[in-house]
Amino acid sequence: MPMSRVFDIIEKEQNRQDKTIELIASENFVSENVRRALASCLTNKYSEGYPTHRYSGHKGRYYGGCQYVDELEEYCCDMWRKVFDTDYHVNVQAHSGSSANLAAYMAVLQPGDTILSMRLSDGGHLTHGSPVNIVGKLFHVVNYDLTADGYIDYADIEKKIRDRKPALVLAGASAYSRIIDFAAIRASIEKNSDETYRPYFMADMAHIAGLVAGHEHPSPFGIADIVTTTTHKTLRGARGGLIFCRKELAGKIDSGIFPCCQGGALQHAVAGKAVTAEEACTPEYREYIRQVVRNSKAMCSEFVRLGYHIVTGGTDNHLFVIDLSETHPHLTGKRVQDTLDQHDITVNKNCVPFEKRSPVETSGIRIGTAAMTTKGYKEADFVAVAQRIDAIIRTME
Ligand code: DSN
């Protein structure tokens, strides 16, 4: 069989990944075992439906020959409950975080219902109801505000629960560097609920899931009704999504994924997620996550020392956002991203709170430490990278 051109392209991408300093907060490097699982024969298998003994009411597959993928999917579910020390129901079939979120909304909401969430430009996510995403087109979206210094305004969340009566309150972010107080949001929901009104509380912990697993961030389990995540960011695993929920929502959530939003499960991805879960239970992984946070704080402090403005002034997690709008008003996030690319440093342009530029240009960049911590970087390495980025930005003055 002739060699495919694809493998030449993959080799070039491998070289890029080997030589660049990877600071995109949502990226990471998977283990050989995760790659083996993803590249396995499981990609050949159709498995619409759920394992035979599923307790959610969805029993059985729509294809024969599923005895081993049944065993795999049940094991994967058990392992993810172990990672987060929870008895929540879990669905491991979501192809991505976006699919997980859409399926969760479709499971418990009707089109036109109101979702209360963080806006994209403040650090939220497309699937939290941006008008250009299907979620914004299907549902009525109300956003809560940030305080002037960029923190989540919990008083505004409570006010909007009371005044706008959302059907679902969503906590979670793609570019927020501070602890999210799930318990405070739950308290606001309880204060404003009665027998006629009680919104669902959903936590999208995609960015911080590894920190939750490693006890470096408060857990949403036992607080939120539904918890969604991806498995490839701080969890450092196969690309994909998960949905956890209180047991009474299990049937609805399973229907939200299949048949509502997806067809057949990707069992090679389920296998990759199962290996990811095994790895996330190890002491080595817990130490890795602690180092990710130490590195993030060290690098962020160096940028502060160098005179940069960090949204909220610092970080509690694996990422932070540099707001260039006041310190470097002539620079856009896009220009900085493109220039750093030329120096083999990979970041992404990012909107900042109260953004005046378009999402294509932006006034900020987002930096995360999960990927380079996997490559062995410690605090001093990240401080040196901050100094290198500063030196490059100075040449752009
Ligand atoms: N947009 C991804 C991120 O980089 O945070 C999440 O989907």
Mutate-to-test residue for ligand 1 from 26, 122, 132, 234, highest number of ligand atoms within 8 A of CB: 26
Residue 235 CA to ligand 1 center (angstroms) comes to 14
- Report the separation in Å between the CA atom of 196 and the middle of ligand 1, taken as the mean of its atom positions: 36
Q: Is 374 a catalytic residue?
A: no
Pair of tokens at residue 4: 């495919």
Handedness of CA 156, 147, 143, 99 (dihedral sign): negative
pLDDT tens across 80-127, in order? 999 999 999 999 999 999 999 999 999 999 999 999 999 999 999 999
Cα–Cα distance list, 311 to 114, 142, 177, 220, 222 (Å): 28, 23, 8, 24, 30
How many Å apart are CA 269 and CA 281, to the nearest integer? 19
CA of 328 to the centre of ligand 1 (A): 25
Residue nearest atom 5 in ligand 1 by C-alpha distance:
174
Q: Is 174 in the pocket of ligand 1 (CB under 6 A)?
A: yes
- Alpha-carbon distance of 270 to 77, in angstroms, equals 9
Indicate whether 397 pLDDT > 80.
no
Name the closest-CA residue to atom 3, ligand 1: 26
Catalytic residue among 160, 236, 239, 335: 239
Q: How far apart are CA 24 and CA 267, in angstroms?
A: 27
Decide whether any atom of ligand 1 lies within 6 Å of the 97 Cβ: yes
291-396 folds as: Aspartate Aminotransferase, domain 1 (3.90.1150)
**Which atom of ligand 1 is closest in space to residue 98's alpha carbon?**
7
DSSP letter at 2 equals P
**Is 162 marked active-site?**
no
- Residue 328's DSSP bridge partners are none
Give the 3-state DSSP-derived string for 315-354, with helices as H, strands as E and coil as C: CCCCEEEEECCCCCCCCCHHHHHHHHHHCCEECEEECCCC
pLDDT of residue 2 exceeding 70, the answer is no
CA dihedral for 264, 269, 210, 174, sign (positive or negative): negative
How far does residue 97's CA lie from ligand 1's centre (Å)?
9
253: pLDDT strictly greater than 70: yes
Per-residue confidence (pLDDT) for residue 188, from 0 to 100? 98
**How many C-beta atoms lie closer than 10 Å to residue 236's C-beta?**
25
d(CA 267, CA 44): 9
Q: Is the pLDDT of residue 54 over 90?
A: no
Query: Is the CB–ligand 1 distance for residue 49 below 6 Å?
Result: no
CA angle 241, 345, 173 (to 5 degrees): 35
Residues 269, 254: Cα–Cα separation, whole Å: 17
275-305 pLDDT per residue, tens: 999 999 999 999 999 999 999 999 999 999 9
SS3 136: helix
Q: Averaged over 161-170, what is the pLDDT? A: 98
Q: Is 46 a catalytic residue?
A: yes
List the catalytic residue out of 54, 160, 186, 233: 233
User: What pLDDT was estimated at residue 1?
Assistant: 61
**3-state class of 228 per DSSP?**
strand
Q: Where are the domains of the chain?
A: 32-280, 291-396
Q: Which of 114, 230, 276, 369 is catalytic?
A: 230
| Alpha-carbon gap, residue 397 to 151, rounded angstroms | 30
Asked whether 318 and 370 are in contact (CB, 8 A), the reply is yes
Q: Which residue has the tokens 């932006």?
A: 362
- Split at pLDDT 50, 70, 90, the class of 66 is very high
325 within ligand 1 shell (Cβ under 6 A): no
Cα 206 to averaged position of ligand 1 atoms, centre (Å): 9
Structure tokens at 257: 């994924």
Residue 135 has pLDDT above 70, yes or no: yes
In the annotation, is 239 catalytic?
Answer: yes
Candidates 28, 233, 321, 350: which one to mutate for ligand 1, based on the most atoms within 8 Å of Cβ?
Answer: 233
* Domain 32-280 listed as CATH 3.40.640.10: yes
Instruction: List all residues 6 or more positions away from 187 whose beta carbon is below 8 Å from its beta carbon.
Output: none
Rounded to an integer, the average pLDDT of 21-45 is 98
- Tens of pLDDT, residue by residue over 204-227, are 999 999 999 999 999 999 999 999
| Domains 32-280 and 291-396 belong to one CATH topology | no
